[in-house]
Structure 1
């Protein structure tokens, strides 16, 4: 059937290839912030994926040369 597709692009720091399988895991974080403490709780993308799955959709990460692209697919309403 028809799906709705949303793409979100982030021109920030790229996710290293070895960390990409962990990207949507509970409590995974990109690393330490500039003040020597963890940035964030590591829940954001995990929760996003859970919410999207609850609505019958999917999310995937697509690395680009100039940033990160997240593609969200949801069933048409």
Structure 2
């Protein structure tokens, strides 16, 4: 259902150079946004999700993927912002 290919590449690299990730979940994917509200020159979506269950499923799947890939203890040591 989800493709984590690019996220895996980024986080694999960050962890390989001993950088502790700061996970920013404040911007909404276009497919889940409820409005066209954006900020910044690169048009980051800042609207709430149009479906909270779908947003929850995405975030849950992402964190579970990271736990399987990097281990729960590693992911628990990261910083998250929503």
Query: Taking structure 1 as the reference length, what is the TM-score of the superposition?
Result: 0.31
Higher-helix-fraction structure: 2
Higher-strand-fraction structure: 1
The structure with higher relative contact order (CA 8 Å, sep 6+) is 1
